[in-house]
Amino acid sequence: MEEKTAMEQRADGDVSFSEFYSRVCDRIRSENILDTVMKEFQQCSSDQQRISYVWNLPETRQLSLKHKTSFKSREEAAFCEDLYDRLVVDERNADKALEAIQRAILKTPTADKHLLAVRFMKRAWALLLMEKFTEAFVDAKRAIISTQTPGVLWNAHEILGHCNAKARKFKEAEANFAKALESLKKSKASNVERAAVAGRVSTVLRMVKDENKPKNRSKESAKKLEENRTKKNTTRNTDTLDEVSAPTTASDVSRSRKLPKLSYGTHPKLVSASVAVRVVVTEERGRAVVASRDIKPGSVVMVEQPYAYTVNASQLHERCLRCCRRSLTNVPCDNCAVVQYCGESCARQAAQQHRLQCCVLTLLYDAALGNMAPLVFRILSTIGWTKLKKSQEKLCQEQELAEQKERSGPDDILVSGHQPWGWEGQYSPHDYLATFNLVTNSSKRTFGDLFKRALSAAYLTHCLLTAGFFAPTKPTEEELQFTATLALRHLQSSSCNAYEISEMQITGDIAGNKSLEIGGAIYPTISLTNHSCFPNVTRYNVGTACVLRATRFIPRDAEILDNYGYFFHATPLIERRDALRNQYKFDCSCDACTYQWPLYPHQGGEPVVFRCPVSTCQAPSSLGDGLKKKCRTCGDEKDYGKLVSEISDKLPDYSKAIQQMQSGRFETALQTLVQHQAMLDGFAVYPAKHYTDVQEIMRQCMSSLGNVNHCEATNTE
């Protein structure tokens, strides 16, 4: 079979970005015009001019995309269900059976409601075999609610019975098993299967009835019964799944995480920040967040909802597109076989956003297009074309002003010191202008970087056009290029301002706990913080929100310093400087880089280095000196000896915090660590092994108060 010509492929409308980009590069090479293209493109001094240039390339002019939905498939769904049926007969294969039926559910056409209900029931059975009682209950209930022929889902009632029995809700379990037997009689199961199932269910039913007798019920205290009756997770009789929840069992280790409150009160202008901080402009660092007062370790500095966010391609198969929650009982998108939601409520709330994304999802997650492309698509679809069109003139002016500022250096012309930040009104994460004005570092980018991003922006605009972003009107050429200019701006700013949405993987062993990146987001306020290889704050996520907390004492007027992924104790100096320069376009001058602090464990593994408490001395000493009671420099014994004793007495608190974390008591562990860090802040000389250990454990402890996945069950508070 002959390969299609480039024009025939274009006519198909099925052109990935990698194909589009390759065609542009291939033509430039074949015509030997790289020097000309480079010279012409580098003469473009604004994003608008860069877009105009790539828009007029023949490949862009001929680009036309069509919907590329990952469609449902009855055949694939049936194949996966058949695989499930063969696997589930052996309980040891329950996890593999679950994977197969998950795939079957994703591939089932929405119109096949009965098949979908049956497959929900089958997923519930796999979950039951895996002793995931909460999830099995939800899916069994969903199957019953979804089906139009209740008689065939006797299995779902049996599953509900097992879940309620596990939760010691014997009255409900008895009703479930009785319903299962009643439905079994109406089913089309063979006589042999009916007899086998009836025998199994009847046996369990007799056991449940026995447990439900008054003499056995009386063994539970009245207080316990009252707790069971009033428990929030009690199952309710409902015909909608929005509020359905399973009975809680002793094996449930996860708990919902709540957003912490800002410490010291909310800032009147920075609505996501504490009143303890302010934004200034400096000659050396540009915009910076500094402390307006002394900030204690553990303080919540910022809590911010994202302007826009996405789930990573590798996580789409097991996470809700809207809330990013990991779930074993997801419901699929009505149209595509990729996206799913943790429940019907999230599916409804995300419908409008995903409607645009759904038909071009495969195009957006092209690896050649980069990780930022789906996020930029979401940024633009969040504000919508109607608002963008109304603000076109203003945004063009803002773009020109922002580019002038970036070319000239800092935000304002500074003589020396700090200058007030010039933002008017409240700075809100929900204000598009806050995201629009994030720095792009355009003037520091290479030809290759900007040229590919400009082509990416043009391609994204065609994705938006194909998805119906501009509907119901047909956009003009000028409007398309305006949108592409915005896309180019966001592709640049997102590469140095976007943050990961993460989840802590709790293994039961602190050394094995790891942070997993599950998505990306724009947090305009948190983006105002600068980097240090020795940060004084840490970030973690609660749902899609981001929390910024102090990990050590921050004195008034000191800068709030985040870390962009390169810590001084873990990454060699040259490697982290090169990485920061390449992605974030700056040379790091933090203390760790300036003074070339050694990698962990530092100073030959010396655990504690401290200053002599005598104000006229302040000489560094260590416990490795043999716990001497006398300063080697000034000779002081009284204050020096007192400090050494205090340090020796407090060091065991670190081990205590580790034990608390090991048992899952993260709130308690954080309190212990905060008190320990406050003690260290009074005399610490960095770097030293113990201080790095405390900072690392505190970061992990805080992250464990956010999104978590219990890979192995631990005790909880």
Q: Kindly report, residue by residue over 69-114, the tens digit of the pLDDT.
A: 778 999 999 999 999 999 999 999 999 999 999 999 999 999 999 9
Domain count, the chain: 1
Give the DSSP H or E segment for 155: helix 154-166
Asked if the bond preceding 652 is cis, omega within 30° of 0, the reply is: no
DSSP class per residue in 176-243: HHHHHHHHHHHS---HHHHHHHHHHHHHHHHHHHHHTSHHHHTTS-HHHHHHHHH-TT-----S-STT
Which amino acid appears at position 118 of this protein? V
pLDDT in tens, 110-168: 999 999 999 999 999 999 999 999 999 999 999 999 876 766 688 899 899 999 988 88
Poorest-confidence range of 135-139, 306-310, 402-406, 516-520?
402-406
pLDDT at 418 over 90: no
Question: What pLDDT shows up at residue 432?
Answer: 96
Predicted confidence band of residue 9 (pLDDT cuts 50, 70, 90): very low
Give the DSSP H or E segment for 716: none
Two structure tokens written together for 183: 């439905």
Q: Is 12 within the bounds of a domain?
A: no
CA distances from 697 to 378, 549, 564 (A): 34, 14, 18
Q: Is 298 within the bounds of a domain?
A: no
pLDDT at 44 over 70: yes
Q: Is 271 within the bounds of a domain?
A: no
Instruction: State whether the Cα torsion 612-618-619-622 is positive or negative.
Output: positive
Q: Is 680 within the bounds of a domain?
A: yes
Question: What pLDDT shows up at residue 313?
Answer: 93
Which amino acid appears at position 685 of this protein? V
Q: Is 437 within the bounds of a domain?
A: no
Q: Is 613 within the bounds of a domain?
A: yes
pLDDT in tens, 493-546: 999 999 999 999 998 788 889 999 999 999 999 999 999 999 999 999 999 999
**CA atoms of 650 and 632, how far apart (whole Å):** 23
Question: What pLDDT shows up at residue 371?
Answer: 92
**CA atoms of 243 and 237, how far apart (whole Å):** 10
CA-wise closest residue to 104 among 59, 58, 66, 73: 73
Contact assessment for residue 360 and residue 461, using Cβ atoms and an 8 Å cutoff: no
pLDDT at 445 over 50: yes
Q: What average pLDDT does the chain have?
A: 87
Contact assessment for residue 305 and residue 545, using Cβ atoms and an 8 Å cutoff: yes
Using DSSP bridges, classify how beta strands 609-611 and 545-550 pair: parallel, antiparallel or unpaired. Answer: unpaired
> Which of helix, strand or coil describes residue 410?
coil
> Which of helix, strand or coil describes residue 417?
coil
pLDDT at 387 over 50: yes
**CA atoms of 214 and 212, how far apart (whole Å):** 6
Residues in the chain: 717
Containing structural domain, residue 618: 603-710
Q: Return the higher-pLDDT residue of 714 and 57.
A: 57
pLDDT at 584 over 70: yes
pLDDT above 70: percentage of residues in the chain? 87
Question: What pLDDT shows up at residue 438?
Answer: 94
Question: What pLDDT shows up at residue 701?
Answer: 96
Asked if the bond preceding 472 is cis, omega within 30° of 0, the reply is: yes
Give the DSSP H or E segment for 308: strand 308-311
CA-wise closest residue to 15 among 467, 462, 476: 462
Give the DSSP H or E segment for 581: helix 573-584
CA-wise closest residue to 145 among 349, 347, 344, 318: 344
pLDDT at 324 over 90: yes
Question: What pLDDT shows up at residue 415?
Answer: 36
pLDDT in tens, 196-212: 777 777 777 777 666 66
pLDDT at 653 over 50: yes
Question: What pLDDT shows up at residue 200?
Answer: 77
Q: Is 582 within the bounds of a domain?
A: no
pLDDT at 247 over 60: no
pLDDT at 10 over 70: no
Of these ranges, 175-184, 226-235, 408-417, 591-600, the one predicted with the greatest mean pLDDT is 591-600
Predicted confidence band of residue 13 (pLDDT cuts 50, 70, 90): low
Predicted confidence band of residue 625 (pLDDT cuts 50, 70, 90): low
Mean pLDDT, rounded, for 454-471: 97
**CA atoms of 160 and 169, how far apart (whole Å):** 11
Poorest-confidence range of 390-394, 421-425, 518-522?
421-425
Cβ neighbours of residue 6 closer than 8 Å, sequence gap 6 or more: 23
Q: Is 304 within the bounds of a domain?
A: no
Question: What pLDDT shows up at residue 411?
Answer: 46
Cβ neighbours of residue 485 closer than 8 Å, sequence gap 6 or more: 47, 48, 51, 399, 457
Question: What pLDDT shows up at residue 215?
Answer: 53
Two structure tokens written together for 355: 């409607």
